[in-house]
């Protein structure tokens, strides 16, 4: 039938086709109307897209606030580092045909070898990759973290195809310097929409974390209208919102004492290898922390050691303090009127609640007066003293000294501690520092009451904060948190602490310092099994400690040191701790009297970019020992870094351009070996203890010639 009516078929097809055209037209009208009304296509704003073509917005990055020590010297400040890369693609040209890729590889390699710790041959190899279609190449760790001076020197050479990425960074010029307390600020992961210039540093540890919102500041912006070439349109004004820089923080740390403490701590860590080592020096009149350190630690400038230990053990670790707790037990008994110094007791052991408690000298000293119990550190004597007080009265004083409460010293991650006090045996062992868990800052707070005639001071590490935008200063004043004991009680306790040092039966005679009167108390605390089943056995499985106050009659300083499980315990624990306690306390006391000290300190000069001969001369003039690492004649990196505090005859590692070479490390300490590994990025391990006597890679050999290097350490004979 269709064949009989071709005209009708044409009419039907034409009508159907017309309907399709009308439908498409209506769909177009509807779509166009929707775009006009909504201003969006595929969920993208057309107005914003059009505006972006003619408007340029630049982030004005806020400067993160600087952290200063007590004297106003910067210990953490904003910086910028640069990463180097090379464009190799020959299609990468400008609009005017200008070549934007590397054109002279030989010259590029020669120039870069003067500023990077890479040989010319190594750089040439990177500039000639196996894949001919490689768009760009980087230079690994050697091309990252470059300083502004190195970037400017490379820029002056006008090398085609060489570019830099700019990265905000944090400069810690002192290296290891109260690292866990000062903290760390780093770039955090950002989504792909966040531009590089909009990224800000974030505090992830220590005071950098506590005060992050105050330190980081607020970014600003600058907006201009531009033409198709990116230039600002005539007769238009830029809209600018100024950045608000972060606040500056001033700490109570004394750089001279802090740096000396770090040196002493590193020496002890190298020689005796404790699992943990803590030390805090405080002014008990104000509660201000003058120096604080821990081991393990890390170098915030290089990142070395950061992955091993993140906790600030001064506040984040709770531990049983051992016999230094007897300072508070004695103070409580005297203050409560329950101390009977002339009454005698049988030392050696005592039975409490079905548990036998021994003195550290298990046979005891026979029948002795309570007046000798403190200096001899008699556990049995202090059980008797606690029983004379009664469990309620002793608990009352534990709370008055603020144990089981956070000190809120502004260091993040603080724990409250705990107390096991249900049974008579639990109550008894708290008298000598077992069954009670504290943190180091709680102990420092309690010690301040003994040193400060009964007035207990909150530990303070931040002195003030200033706002550079308004000039406003926020001062953090010393704060008393109570008066748990009387002045007379505090004086009696300090007298007992003098007996520890100066009586022939005292346990702390090694802590005597000629010319000064020292009050001290020693401690040896057992360490609980991880599963809670009793205590660890073994000569070194203890937390050894000492607290000292000086001058004893009116203390200006309190120094508290704890050492956990020294793995190379070649000396008595008290002798090991005295190697930190005595020199640091003496230096603090000498400093108080404005006397010269035997070891001078100076700031590390900036020798990066200088010739080796000029750098060597400058370092020797500062009484420092330069060590060249590399075949070149220009210093490209140094350790310690600029402005770090250094001591006389300290080794300074100078990384030069050209191939890296192995120095003669004979006589180096383990810490020096670790610095060499940090600076070169090579796998260098140590074997044994003491000082370097043998190295698997001979001196002056290229470091790239060995995958790993072993240095053998031996103790001096």
Query: Do residues 624 and 650 make contact, with C-beta atoms less than 8 angstroms apart?
Result: yes
pLDDT at 595: 43
What are phi and psi for residue 630, nearest 5 degrees?
Answer: 140, 160
pLDDT digits (tens, 9 = 90+) for 335-345: 999 999 999 99
pLDDT at 694: 92
Per-residue pLDDT band for 370 (boundaries 50, 70, 90) equals: very high
Nearest to 180 by CA among 188, 172, 189, 190: 172
Residue 54 reports pLDDT greater than 70: no
Strand segments, DSSP code E, in 226-366 are: 239-241, 248-251, 274-283, 288-295, 344-346, 349-352, 355-358
Count CB neighbours of 113 within 10 A.
23
pLDDT at 388: 96
pLDDT at 37: 67
pLDDT at 640: 83
Helix (H) / strand (E) element for 554: namely none
Calculate the CA dihedral of residues 127, 128, 130, 136 and round it to 10 degrees: 30
pLDDT at 225: 67
Instruction: Spot the catalytic one: 119, 323, 574, 669.
Output: 323
Per-residue pLDDT band for 20 (boundaries 50, 70, 90) equals: confident
Residue 353 reports pLDDT greater than 70: yes
Per-residue pLDDT band for 623 (boundaries 50, 70, 90) equals: confident
Residue range 361-374: average pLDDT? Answer: 96
pLDDT at 571: 95
pLDDT at 149: 81
pLDDT at 39: 57
pLDDT at 36: 62
pLDDT at 45: 60
Residue range 404-411: average pLDDT? Answer: 96
Per-residue pLDDT band for 374 (boundaries 50, 70, 90) equals: very high
Instruction: Specify the higher pLDDT residue, 488 or 57.
Output: 488
Those residues whose C-beta lies under 8 Å from the C-beta of residue 657, and which sit 6 or more positions away, are 113, 114, 115, 116, 117, 630, 632, 633, 634, 636
Beta bridge mates, 655? 629, 637
Residue 242 reports pLDDT greater than 90: no
58-250 has which CATH code?
Answer: 3.90.1310.10
pLDDT digits (tens, 9 = 90+) for 555-583: 999 999 999 999 999 999 999 999 999 99
pLDDT digits (tens, 9 = 90+) for 629-640: 988 888 888 888
Bond before 296 cis per omega within 30 degrees: yes
Those residues whose C-beta lies under 8 Å from the C-beta of residue 254, and which sit 6 or more positions away, are 69, 70, 71, 290, 291
Residue 292 reports pLDDT greater than 90: yes
pLDDT at 679: 80
CA-atom Rg of the chain in angstroms: 34
Residue range 39-44: average pLDDT? Answer: 61
> Is 83 in the active site?
no
pLDDT at 192: 43
DSSP type of residue 229: T
pLDDT at 49: 54
Percent of the chain whose pLDDT exceeds 90: 59
Output the average pLDDT for the chain.
88
Nearest to 583 by CA among 379, 380, 279: 279
255-334+379-592 has which CATH code?
Answer: 3.40.710.10
Beta bridge mates, 560? 280, 547
pLDDT at 587: 94
Residues in the chain: 717
Percent of the chain whose pLDDT exceeds 70: 88
Burial of 406 (0-12, 13-18, 19+ CB in 10 A): middle
Residue range 463-470: average pLDDT? Answer: 94
pLDDT at 43: 62
CA distance 311 to 302: 18
pLDDT at 596: 41
Beta bridge mates, 146? 82
201-205: long-range contacts (C-beta < 8 A, 24 or more apart)?
Answer: 201/64, 201/78, 201/168, 201/169, 201/170, 205/180, 205/310, 205/312, 205/412
Residue range 410-419: average pLDDT? Answer: 96
pLDDT digits (tens, 9 = 90+) for 181-231: 999 998 875 544 445 555 789 999 999 999 999 999 888 877 766 655 455
CA distance 255 to 261: 10
pLDDT digits (tens, 9 = 90+) for 596-617: 444 455 778 889 888 998 999 8
What does the domain layout of the chain look like in residue ranges?
6-38, 58-250, 255-334+379-592, 601-714
Instruction: Specify the higher pLDDT residue, 687 or 103.
Output: 103
601-714 has which CATH code?
Answer: 3.30.10.20
Per-residue pLDDT band for 650 (boundaries 50, 70, 90) equals: confident
pLDDT digits (tens, 9 = 90+) for 128-159: 999 988 999 999 888 888 888 889 889 999 99
DSSP type of residue 705: G
């Amino acid at each position: 039938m269709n064949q009989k009516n071709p005209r009708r078929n044409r009419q039907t097809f034409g009508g159907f086709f017309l309907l399709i055209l009308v439908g498409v037209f209506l769909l177009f009208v509807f779509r166009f109307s929707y775009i006009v009304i909504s201003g969006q296509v595929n969920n993208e704003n057309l107005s914003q897209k059009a505006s972006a073509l003619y408007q340029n917005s630049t982030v004005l990055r806020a400067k993160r606030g600087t952290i200063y020590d007590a004297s106003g010297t910067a210990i953490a400040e904003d910086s910028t580092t640069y990463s180097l890369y090379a464009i190799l693609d020959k299609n990468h040209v400008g609009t005017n045909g200008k070549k934007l890729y590397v054109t002279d590889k030989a010259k590029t390699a020669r120039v870069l070898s003067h500023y990077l710790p890479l040989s010319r041959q190594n750089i040439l190899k990177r500039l000639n990759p196996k894949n001919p279609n490689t768009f760009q190449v980087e230079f690994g760790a050697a091309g990252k973290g470059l300083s502004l001076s190195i970037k400017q020197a490379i820029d002056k050479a006008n090398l085609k195809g060489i570019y830099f990425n700019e990265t905000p960074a944090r400069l810690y010029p002192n290296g290891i310097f109260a690292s866990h307390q000062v903290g760390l600020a780093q770039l955090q992961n950002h989504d792909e929409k966040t531009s590089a210039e909009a990224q800000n540093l974030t505090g992830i540890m220590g005071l950098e974390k506590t005060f992050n919102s105050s330190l980081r500041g607020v970014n600003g912006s600058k907006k201009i209208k531009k033409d198709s070439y990116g230039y600002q349109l005539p007769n238009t004004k830029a809209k600018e919102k100024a950045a608000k820089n972060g606040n500056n923080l001033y700490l109570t740390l004394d750089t001279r004492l802090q740096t000396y403490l770090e040196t002493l701590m590193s020496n002890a860590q190298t020689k005796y290898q404790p699992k943990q080592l803590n030390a805090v020096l405080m002014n008990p009149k104000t509660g201000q922390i003058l120096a604080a350190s821990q081991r393990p630690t890390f170098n915030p400038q290089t990142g070395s050691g950061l992955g091993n230990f993140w906790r600030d053990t001064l506040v984040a670790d709770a531990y049983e303090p051992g016999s230094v707790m007897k300072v508070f037990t004695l103070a409580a008994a005297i203050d409560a009127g329950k101390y009977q110094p002339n009454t005698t007791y049988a030392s050696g052991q005592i039975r409490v609640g079905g548990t036998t408690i021994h003195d550290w000298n298990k046979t005891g000293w026979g029948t002795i007066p309570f007046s000798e119990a403190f200096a001899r550190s008699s556990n049995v004597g202090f059980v008797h003293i606690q029983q004379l007080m009664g469990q309620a009265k002793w608990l009352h004083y534990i709370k008055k000294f603020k144990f089981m409460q956070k000190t809120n010293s502004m260091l993040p991650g603080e724990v409250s501690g705990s107390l096991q006090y249900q049974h008579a045996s639990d109550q008894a062992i708290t008298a000598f520092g077992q069954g009670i868990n504290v943190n180091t800052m709680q102990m420092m707070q309690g010690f301040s009451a003994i040193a400060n005639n009964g007035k207990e001071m909150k530990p303070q590490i931040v002195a003030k904060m200033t706002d550079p935008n308004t000039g406003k200063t926020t001062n953090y004043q010393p704060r008393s948190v109570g008066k748990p004991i009387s002045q007379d009680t505090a004086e009696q306790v300090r007298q007992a602490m003098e007996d520890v040092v100066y009586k022939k039966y005292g346990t702390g005679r090694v802590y005597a310092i000629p010319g000064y009167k020292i009050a001290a108390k020693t401690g040896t605390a057992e360490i609980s099994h991880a599963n809670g089943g009793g205590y660890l056995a073994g000569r070194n499985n203890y937390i050894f400690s000492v607290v000292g106050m000086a001058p004893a009659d009116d203390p200006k300083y309190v120094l508290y040191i704890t050492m956990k499980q020294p793995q190379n315990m070649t000396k008595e624990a008290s002798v090991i701790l005295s190697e930190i306690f005595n020199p640091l306390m003496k230096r603090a006391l000498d400093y108080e009297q404005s006397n010269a000290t035997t070891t001078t300190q100076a700031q590390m000069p900036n020798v990066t970019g200088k010739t080796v001969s000029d750098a060597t001369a400058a370092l020797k003039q500062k009484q420092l020992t330069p060590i060249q690492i590399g075949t070149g004649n220009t210093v490209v990196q140094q350790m310690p870094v600029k402005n770090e505090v250094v001591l006389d005859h300290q080794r300074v590692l100078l990384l030069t351009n050209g191939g890296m070479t192995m120095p003669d490390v004979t006589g180096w300490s383990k810490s020096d070996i670790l610095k060499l590994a940090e600076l070169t990025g090579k796998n260098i391990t140590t074997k044994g203890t003491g000082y370097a006597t043998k190295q698997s890679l001979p001196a002056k050999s290229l470091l790239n010639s060995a995958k790993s290097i072993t240095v053998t350490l031996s103790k001096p004979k």
